[in-house]
Copies of this chain bind each other. A is one copy, B any other.
């Protein structure tokens, strides 16, 4: 049995797409600008894998996610007619990722899991982002484990093994809980246990994300509350 449950955050614990769409829409309304807020959110998120790859390949120095989000945002401002945002407004917008809202089951599910397990994020989000998000939304983490602590982004093995080492647990006593199969498979290759949390609303239906129950994982859950049920806490 696992001693610690570590969670992917963007998409698994919080609804980045809905939260970012709402922030962009509100800003655009205040500025009297017409734009497709949902598309903006998708574009912002789509820029994130290529930006992490530029860090991974040494094309960019280590930058945390606030830094990567800002690089992508500076491009999107031009594309969406937001060039005239001030530096302060741009910074506030960039930190909308610190204010992502949890899925409806997340806080209640995590509170239950915390009674039986150490619960922590294992996210590419930077430490302060994860801390601010938890303060804003009441995510009851025991501790914050960010890719920033290792200077490596998931799915690099340094992140999964680094989390287990910080917790002083063998990998098989740590379970990654995530909505993304590639993340889970990378953790599994490092010897961690895995729980797939289905999040059908993370991406638009048109993207045909694979949400099927998958026997490769130790657990498959419909929500974090369902995970707590399956783990008997």
How many monomers of this chain does the complex have?
2
Contact of A127 with B66 in the complex, beta carbons under 8 Å: no
A35 within 8 A of B: no
Across the interface, which residues of B come within 8 angstroms of A135, CB to CB? 118, 142
Contact of B66 with A128 in the complex, beta carbons under 8 Å: no
Which residues of A, 60-76, contact B by the 8 Å Cβ criterion? 66
Q: Which interface class (under 10, 10 to 19, 20 to 34, 35 or more) fits A?
A: 10 to 19
Across the interface, which residues of B come within 8 angstroms of A149, CB to CB? 149
Residues of chain A having any CB pair with chain B under 8 Å: 66, 118, 126-128, 130-131, 134-135, 141-144, 148-149, 166-169
Instruction: Kindly list 18 other residue pairs between chains A and B, CB separation below 8 angstroms, not including A66-B168, A118-B131, A130-B143.
Output: A118-B135, A126-B168, A127-B166, A127-B167, A127-B168, A128-B167, A131-B142, A131-B143, A134-B142, A134-B143, A135-B142, A141-B142, A142-B144, A143-B143, A143-B144, A144-B144, A148-B166, A149-B149
